[in-house]
Structures are given as C-alpha cells and as structure tokens.
Amino acid sequence: MNYKKWIYTFITGLLLGSFFIATINIIVDPFFHYRKPLPQLFYKLDNERYQNDGILKHFDYDGIIIGTSMTQNFKTTEFNDLFNVKSIKVPFAGAYYKEINDNLEKAFDSGHNVKYVIRGLDYNKLISPKDEMRYALKDYPVYLYNDNIFDDISYIFNGEVVDRSIKMLKNRIKGQDGGITSFDKYSNWGDTYKFGTKYVLKGKKVYNKPANIMSLTQSDKETIKANIEQNVTSLVKKHPETTFYYFFTPYSIVYWAQLYEKGEISKQIEAEKYAMELILKCPNIKLFSFNTMTNITMNLDNYKDSGHYGEWINSLILTYMKENKGLITKENYKNYINAEKLLYLNYNYNNLIEKSDLTED
C-alpha cells in the first residue's frame, strides 16, 4: 500500500469511526440532550449535572422537586399523590441558589406548564453572593446547557458517553426492558448511611462559649437581598400561574450548636427573618420553616450528620406542606422568629454530649 493510499484509508477510517460514535450517542442520547428517553432502552439516572438539564427540557411533567442534597431523598410518587401532579426530581448536590434558579428557568423556558415547584432553600447559603456557583465553568458541562450546537462535539464524541451508549444497547440485546430509574430512587442516599447521635456528634466532647457574638451587618443584608431577588423571587414573579412551595432546610440541633460556638445564632436567624420579608412579598410562594419543630431538629436519629436528614423527613415535609403545617406568613413570621430565637439562644448545647455519654454507657 503506497503512502497516499494509506493516508486516504486512515482518514476514511477515522471519519467513519467518528461518524459511528456520533451516531450512537445522538440516537441513544443517554443524557437526554436532544430528546426524552427512547422506550426501547433503559436509562440509568446517576449523574445529576449531566442529566438534569435534559430531564428539565424534554420530560413530561407539571411538578418539580429541586434543590441540593437536602432534596435528594424526596419521592415523586408521594408528591404526585399528595398534589395530583406528574413530577420530576432534579437535585443538584452542593448547589448555591443561582444554579438552582438557572435550572428552574429551563423548565419554564422549555414550554412546560408547571403547577407546583417544591424547592429547598439551604439555610446555610442565605448569606451567599448571588452569582456563587459550586463549580467553576471549566469544570461544568456547559455544552449540555447552552444552545450552541458547535460545542456539542464535547458530547457526541465523548468516550465516556459512547461507553454508556454501547452498554445500554448491549443490555437491550440481552433482553433488558426499556425504562428509566425511578425518580424515587434517583440520587436517593437513604440506604447508604447510618443515622443517629454517634454519627452526628462525631466524638464531640464540649461546646465552648463563643468568644464573640456576631450580628447581621448591612453588607450581609445587601448580599441576602441580591441573592433572594435574583435567585428566588425573580422567576416566581414571572409565573403567577405556578405555586412555589419553598422551605428552609431543617438542620439538626447540632448545626445550631456549631453556630453557638461561632457566636452566629442571632446572625443566622436575623438572616432568615430578612429573607422571609423579601420572599413573602410574592403571593404565589408558600414558604415553610420547620426549625422550631423539635420532633425533627432535636431527634438526632433523623440525621446522618449535622444537616442531612433521612428520607422519612422528606416525606414528612411533603405532608406538612400539604397540610400547611410550618407555613410562614406575613402575619406569623415575627412570632416564628421570636420562638426560634427563644429556642436556640437558650438551649444548653452541652446537654447533647451528656445525653450521648449516657447512651453510650
């Protein structure tokens, strides 16, 4: 074979191979970039930031559960039954408010008629810059989120994607039925961890008195205002036809003990109060806070660490929302904040350790 013929054969083979890879990925489309799932294939949901954009754009739904890891254990079947919707769950572990809001906008921009949105507002991210993101753009699959067809080469010629596509085709040949991981199981970690005092306290021996008591500053309030207005209420105002069920994620009493040591309890509660005042301006937001419900926050058997609660708490939150239990209104929010301060500013946090020692003995 002469040199020119070899070059021609090599280039032809390369082009055919590339065409084969691209065709497989476009047809199978394991991340739903172009369409909803093909009924003949089984799609495993296991990669939030690579699959959620396609789910939001192409699936059929009128209800959404969205948030961070604090929403991963929600079950859409329970949401569907309680609120009479067909829902999806699209969590983004570790996300700041901006990423959640940006993805919610995709749901509405893609033409869905959304009745209800359930969204967790992570309590520890209230005082965060409005454009804060967990991942830098260079580490984010931007090519899946934008409308630039030219950078789709990062998807259709992606080796990991083609491996997944081929595996899905092989499973079909072996007789696997078509379908998709249920949203109840998607990102659910309930069976992965152990819960209880031992795992939440993690050997803590004493909670020290704070050296200084921190207060909410004007700069903090400006940060909160920018964050809430850009990433919580702006979208809501555009869609009065939708009811948004928002809740502050209820962390355990150990989280409050950590705030106590840093002298930040009053600061955090004042941040919550200010956020409430901004959010309650929107009539189509139903805002919930469960921090004063000691059956949740003071029972460490509900938690795997200081913040993450088990799936039974997610189920309880859905029920409470349906019953308007824990609902914050313009009329009751000040009383709620006062009760929250009374509870957490006067609690003896070292009792947690004493009770733990008694349990271990």
Confidence check: pLDDT of 4 > 90:
no
Mean pLDDT of 249-270: 98
Give a yes or no: residue 49 inside a domain.
no
Confidence check: pLDDT of 171 > 50:
yes
- pLDDT higher at 84 or 4: 84
What pLDDT, on the 0 to 100 scale, is given for residue 148?
87
Give a yes or no: residue 170 inside a domain.
no
Mean pLDDT of 250-270: 98
3-state per-residue secondary structure call for the chain: CCHHHHHHHHHHHHHHHHHHHHHHHHHHCCCCCCCCCCCCCEECCCCHHHHHHHHHHHCCCCEEEEECHHHCCCCHHHHHHHHCCCEEEEECCCCCHHHHHHHHHHHHHCCCCCCEEEEEECHHHCCCCCCCCCCCHHHCCHHHHCCCHHHHHHHHCCHHHHHHHHHHHHHHHCCCCCEECCCCCCCCCCCCCCCCHHHHHCCCCCCCCCCCCCCCCHHHHHHHHHHHHHHHHHHHHHCCCCEEEEEECCCCHHHHHHHHHHCCHHHHHHHHHHHHHHHCCCCCEEEEECCCCHHHHCCHHHECCCCCECHHHHHHHHHHHHCCCCEECCCCHHHHHHHHHHHHHCCCCHHHHHHHHHHHC
Give a yes or no: residue 271 inside a domain.
yes
What pLDDT, on the 0 to 100 scale, is given for residue 12?
54
Q: Which domain holds residue 333?
A: 64-138+184-360
- pLDDT higher at 72 or 139: 72
Residue with tokens 């869905």: 112
Confidence check: pLDDT of 22 > 90:
no
Convert the pLDDT of each residue in 92-133 to its tens digit: 999 999 999 999 999 999 999 999 999 999 999 999 999 999
Confidence check: pLDDT of 209 > 80:
yes
User: Could you give the percent of the chain with pLDDT greater than 90?
Assistant: 84
Q: In CATH, what number is assigned to the domain containing residue 259?
A: 3.40.50.1110
Confidence check: pLDDT of 139 > 90:
no
Give a yes or no: residue 155 inside a domain.
no
Please give the tally of structural domains in the chain: 1
Give a yes or no: residue 323 inside a domain.
yes
- Cβ neighbours for 298, distance < 8 A, ≥ 6 positions apart: 252, 253
What pLDDT, on the 0 to 100 scale, is given for residue 112?
96
- pLDDT higher at 20 or 246: 246
Confidence check: pLDDT of 23 > 90:
no
pLDDT confidence band for 356 (50 / 70 / 90): low
Judged by average pLDDT, the poorest of 53-57, 155-159, 163-167 is 155-159
What pLDDT, on the 0 to 100 scale, is given for residue 357?
52
Confidence check: pLDDT of 320 > 60:
yes
What pLDDT, on the 0 to 100 scale, is given for residue 7?
60
What pLDDT, on the 0 to 100 scale, is given for residue 51?
97
What pLDDT, on the 0 to 100 scale, is given for residue 9?
54
Average pLDDT value over all residues in the chain: 93
What pLDDT, on the 0 to 100 scale, is given for residue 269?
98
Give a yes or no: residue 353 inside a domain.
yes
Confidence check: pLDDT of 1 > 70:
no
Mean pLDDT of 259-288: 98
Give a yes or no: residue 30 inside a domain.
no
Q: What are phi and psi of 91, to 5 degrees?
A: -80, 150
Convert the pLDDT of each residue in 61-85 to its tens digit: 999 999 999 999 999 999 999 999 9
What pLDDT, on the 0 to 100 scale, is given for residue 361?
45
Confidence check: pLDDT of 228 > 80:
yes
Give a yes or no: residue 281 inside a domain.
yes
What's the predicted TM-score (pTM) here?
0.93
